[in-house]
Structure 1
Amino acid sequence: MIGTACLIALVAISVSALLNLYRLGAGPDVLDRILSLETLVINAIGLVVVIGIWFNTSLYFEVALLLVAVGFLSTVAFCKYLLRGNVIE
């Protein structure tokens, strides 16, 4: 039963990631592309968590935490670069 639910979740998150890739390529503005990239990171985190549930191991949850940290820092760096023109002052 849990295998079927994980498979359905993997398909749904994968479709969402493909739609985010479309928005990343066709975004009319830089801010739309940054938001699409952040949403793509969230989809990747969701995929990793579902795979961790499916394989019944906690290693994937640590990978998800690392993805959260990298995704947050990259979004902050992109926004800071757009506002000020540099990341490190």
Structure 2
Amino acid sequence: MNLLIGYTGLTFLMITVALAFWRMRQGPSLPDRVVALDLLMTVGIAVTAVYAMIMNEPLIMDVATVLALISFLGTIAFAYYVDLRE
């Protein structure tokens, strides 16, 4: 992978992180904040994957897989919580 492309991608992902943090802080409701947190987890997975490609370390992709599983379980837990509230 071209390093310039990788570092440009990481830059855009960091901008996305800043915007997601802003949404989590400003979110008028709990679902807005949870969607922002889910976006942060997704961006974390993307950052891990891009870093693995830049460093040419395929083992780091296992970390991205674990993050994806944790994010999925968190989304399911939130959906269960919202279902109980209603």
TM range, smaller chain: over 0.9
Q: Which runs of 4+ in 1 moved over 3 A?
A: none
1:75 equivalenced with 2:75 (yes/no): yes
Equivalent in the alignment of 1:15: 15
CA distance in 2, matches of 1:82, 1:64: 27
Gaps of 5+ in 1: none
Q: What's the RMSD between the two structures over aligned residues?
A: 1.1
* DSSP 3-state at the match of 2:52: helix
Alignment size in residue pairs: 85
Structure number with the higher helix fraction is 2
Equivalent in the alignment of 2:62: 62
- TM-score after normalising by structure 1: 0.91
- TM-score after normalising by structure 2: 0.94
Gaps of 5+ in 2: none
% identity of equivalent residues:
27
